[in-house]
Structure 1
Amino acid sequence: MKAHIFAEGSNTTADDRTKPAKEYFQGLFGMVAGLTEELSESTEANLHILSKEFGVLSGNQSIANGTKSRQETSANLWESAQEELLTAAGEADVMVILLSTDAFEKTAGDIWPKLVDEAKPGSIWCIGAARSTLESVDFEKLEDKGCQVISYQRVGVARIGTETREELLQAVDRKAAE
């Protein structure tokens, strides 16, 4: 089973740029890194980190390599993120999107109908976003494809709530047991 997790980096960072991106970004990003580790126990988990400074990074990619290989402007950050979302949607058994309103609108929001078309039937989708964003997204077509949708209305800076995290992990465990 494959899982793809999309999240933004944080302003709190480590000093060591040779660390993998999932360790370089700290603070509240730790919730995302921890979720990725938990998902990797039962899936092939791929973390995609959106950073205005470094572009779209793989969780295992070092920041030092990111700055050398991906000199992206903020404008094509969104385009790169859209491409990675579309590719991931087609192969993901578990798709997790935890983005701020601005980042969601410029990525998944702009291509939502295409994302739904690409979604693997029967996959699990977990979306963490502001209420206004969640209300603007049509989950019905995903559900029509047999996808399970788990949503988390972001409150403050929390990327995902404890109950939502547990619901997601339980759904993944059930799917892994099928």
Structure 2
Amino acid sequence: MKAHVFAEGSNTTTEDPTKPAKEYFQGLFGVVAGLTDELSESANTSLHVLSEEFGVLRGDQPIADTTESKQGGSADLWEKAQEELLTAAREADVIVILLSTDAFERTVGEIWPELVEAAKPDSIWCIGAARSTLDSITFEKLEEKGCSVISYQRVGVARIGTDAREDLLQAVNQKVSE
């Protein structure tokens, strides 16, 4: 089983640029890192970290290895994130998208119909975003493909709530046991 997690880095970071992105970003990003670890117990999990400073990073990619820092600008960031989202949608049994309103609109929002079209049938989708963002998309076509959809309306800076996290992990464990 394959899982992909998409989230933004945080402003709180470690001083050590040799750390992989998953450990470099700290603070509230710890929730994303922890969720990724939990998903990794049941699925081959890839973490995609969106960073305006470093671009789109793999969770296991050391910050020191990035060549994108301050190059290409944010337009490249959003385009690359869209490409990775589409690739993930085609292959993922589980896709988790935890983005701020701005990042969501520049990535998922711009390609939602293509993402839904590309979505692997019977996959699990977990989306954490602001209410206005969630209201701007429809899950009906995903559900018609047999996909399970777990949505979390972000409150403040929380990327995913406890209930949504538990629902996601339960759905993944159920899928593994099928």
Q: Distance in 2 between matches of 1:108 and 1:137?
A: 9
The correspondence of residues 15-164 of structure 1 with structure 2, limited to 5 A, is 15-67=15-67, 71-164=71-164
8 Å CA contact retained: 1:54, 1:72: no
Question: In the alignment, which residue of structure 1 is the partner of 2:177?
Answer: 177
Q: Is the 8 A contact 2:54 2:69 kept in 1?
A: no
Distance 1:152 1:100 in 2: 12
How far does the alpha carbon of each residue in 1:83-107 deviate from its partner, in whole angstroms, 9 at most, with x for none? Answer: 0000000000000000000000000
Unaligned runs of 5+ residues in structure 2 are: none
Does residue 13 in structure 1 map to residue 13 in structure 2?
yes
CA deviation digits over 1:12-66, x for unaligned, max 9?
0000000000000000000000000000000000000000000000000000101
- The 2-side partners of 1:76 and 1:68 are apart by 10
1:134/1:161 CA distance change after superposition, 3 Å: same
**For the Cα contact (< 8 Å) 2:91–2:120, is it kept in 1?**
yes
- Give 3-state SS (helix, strand or coil) of 1:57's partner: strand
How many pairs align? Answer: 178
SS in structure 1 of the partner of residue 107 of structure 2? helix
Partners in 2 of 1:70 and 1:46 — Cα distance? 24
Q: Per-residue deviation at 1:67?
A: 3.3
Q: Secondary structure at the match of 1:48?
A: strand
C-alpha distance after superposition, 1:99-140 (max 9, x if no partner) = 000000000010000000000000000000000000111100
Helix, strand or coil at the partner of 2:66 = helix
| CA-CA distance at 1:75 after TM superposition | 1.2
TM-score under structure 2 length normalisation: 0.98
Letter of the 1:167 partner, please give it.
Answer: D
CA distance in 2, matches of 1:71, 1:94: 31
- Point out where structure 1 has 5 or more consecutive residues left out of the alignment: none
CA distance in 2: counterparts of 1:106 and 1:134, whole angstroms:
14
State the superposition RMSD in angstroms. 1.1
**TM-score (structure 1 length as normaliser):** 0.98
**For residues 68 and 147 of structure 1, what CA distance do their matches in structure 2 show?**
35
8 A contact 1:2–1:44 mirrored in 2: yes
Identity percentage over the alignment?
A: 75
Aligned to 1:165: 165
In 1, Cα distance between the equivalents of 2:31 and 2:39?
12
